[in-house]
A = this chain, B = another copy of it.
Amino acid sequence: MRIGFIGTGIMGGPMAGHLAKAGHHVVAWNRSAEKLAALAPLGVEAAQSPVEAARDVDALISMLADGPATQAVLLEGGVLAAMPQGSLLIDQASTPVATAKTLAAEAAGRGISFVDAPVSGGQRGAEQASLTIMAGGSAADVQRALPLLTVLGRVTHMGEAGCGQLAKLCNQLIVANTIATVSEAMILAEAGGVAPAALRDALSGGFADSTILQQHGQRMIEGNFVPGGRCTTQLKDCRTASDQAEALGLELPVTGLVRDLYAQQVEQGGGDLDHAALYLLLKRLNGL
Contact = CB atoms under 8 A, between A and B. Distances in A.
B211 A162 contact: no
A253 interface: yes
Contact of A254 (B180, B186, B245): B180
A23 interface: no
Contacts of A134: 202
A198 B167 CA distance: 9
A198 B206 CA distance: 24
A192 B252 contact: no
Contact of A132 (B120, B203, B282): B203
A251 interface: yes
A245 B285 CA distance: 13
B181 A199 contact: no
A84 interface: no
Interface string A226-260: 00000000000000010011001111111101100
Contact of A252 (B121, B157, B173, B188): B188
A185 B173 CA distance: 7
Main secondary structure of the interface of A (DSSP, over half): helix
A120 B208 CA distance: 9
Interface string A210-234: 1111010000000000000000000
Q: For this complex, into which size category does the number of interface residues on chain A fall?
A: 35 or more
A211 B204 CA distance: 10
A166 B178 contact: no
Given A120-B208, A174-B210, A250-B286, 4 more contacts: A120-B206, A158-B194, A170-B188, A209-B210
Interface of A: 97, 120-121, 132, 134, 154, 156-160, 162-163, 166-167, 169-175, 177-178, 180-182, 184-189, 191-195, 198-199, 201-203, 205-213, 215, 241, 244-245, 248-255, 257-258, 261, 282, 285-286
30 contacts: A97-B192, A120-B207, A132-B203, A157-B198, A158-B194, A158-B195, A159-B195, A166-B193, A167-B189, A170-B188, A170-B208, A171-B203, A171-B207, A173-B181, A174-B208, A175-B207, A177-B178, A177-B184, A178-B208, A181-B255, A184-B253, A188-B241, A188-B250, A209-B210, A209-B211, A210-B212, A210-B213, A253-B261, A254-B257, A257-B257
